[in-house]
Amino acid sequence: MVEGKDPQTFLDVFEVTAAANGWPEEEWCAKLLPLLVGEVQQAGLSLPVATRPQYANLRYAILDRVGSNPEDHRGRFRAMKLEPNGRPFVFAYQLRDAATRWLQPNGQDQKMLEAIILEQFLDAIPTRTSAWVRYHSPPDVKAAERIAEEHLAVHREATPRMAAGLTSVPRRRLAPRWGGGKDQVPRA
């Protein structure tokens, strides 16, 4: 667990890992507690010793202490930005997860959820890429992420060449040095 990261996501990953490895649920707390840091660790250690070995109690205490409620998820969702070397399809997945935790939609709210995710996606990617994606008017997040992936791939490939001075710049035609008319040949 890293300080400042979403504890709910960490717990979800831990549960999937524990289940995939076939760990008995009675052992989950003993394996999880050493992985916790900061306030999350304090939440686990503040449980009475008798209830600490029950994973459901530990999970509840952690999420209650760090305030993992819809408003916190809204704040995380709105604060998300695409990292400089991040991939738009991964970022879109993270946005979808955060929006789902915030809004907790039922099956009828999917269009509204998609619109909110698309809006945040366009606001959280680099400005030039956002303008390019908006120009193409994607109908949904999948289309927006595909357009952003293509745009960033082109510009990321060009960036190392620019840094090395290998850009192709139009050159202007210089007048001949020998100063005569166009039929004169330079002398050796």
pTM, entire model: 0.58
Q: Give the pLDDT confidence score for residue 175 in this predicted structure.
A: 54
Q: Give the pLDDT confidence score for residue 53 in this predicted structure.
A: 85
- Helix, strand, or coil here: 53? coil
- Taking only the tens of pLDDT, the chain with its 188 residues reads 666 677 888 888 999 999 999 999 999 998 998 888 888 888 888 888 888 888 888 888 888 777 667 787 888 899 999 998 899 999 999 899 888 888 887 777 788 999 999 999 999 999 999 999 999 999 999 999 999 999 998 887 655 544 444 444 444 555 555 555 555 555 55
Which contacts of 57-60 are long-range, i.e. CB under 8 A and separated by 24 or more positions?
58/29, 58/32, 58/33, 59/11
Taken as a whole, the chain contains a residue count of 188
Report how far residue 168's alpha carbon sits from residue 152's, in angstroms, rounded to the nearest whole number. 19
Structure tokens at 16: 């999937």
In single-letter form, the type of residue at position 81 comes to K
Report how far residue 142's alpha carbon sits from residue 168's, in angstroms, rounded to the nearest whole number. 33
Q: Determine which helix (DSSP H) or strand (DSSP E) holds 148, and give its type and residue range.
A: helix 141-163
Q: Give the pLDDT confidence score for residue 114 in this predicted structure.
A: 93
Report how far residue 67's alpha carbon sits from residue 48's, in angstroms, rounded to the nearest whole number. 20
Q: Give the pLDDT confidence score for residue 64 in this predicted structure.
A: 78
Question: What is the CATH code for 70-163?
Answer: 1.10.1200
SS3 content of the chain, % helix, strand, coil (to 5): 65, 0, 35
Whose tokens are 């289309």? That residue is 143
Which residues are within 8 A (CB) of 173 and not within 5 positions of it... i.e. 6 or more apart? none
Structure tokens at 166: 């290998």
Q: Cite the residue boundaries of each domain of the chain with CATH code 1.10.1200.
A: 70-163
Q: Give the pLDDT confidence score for residue 79 in this predicted structure.
A: 93
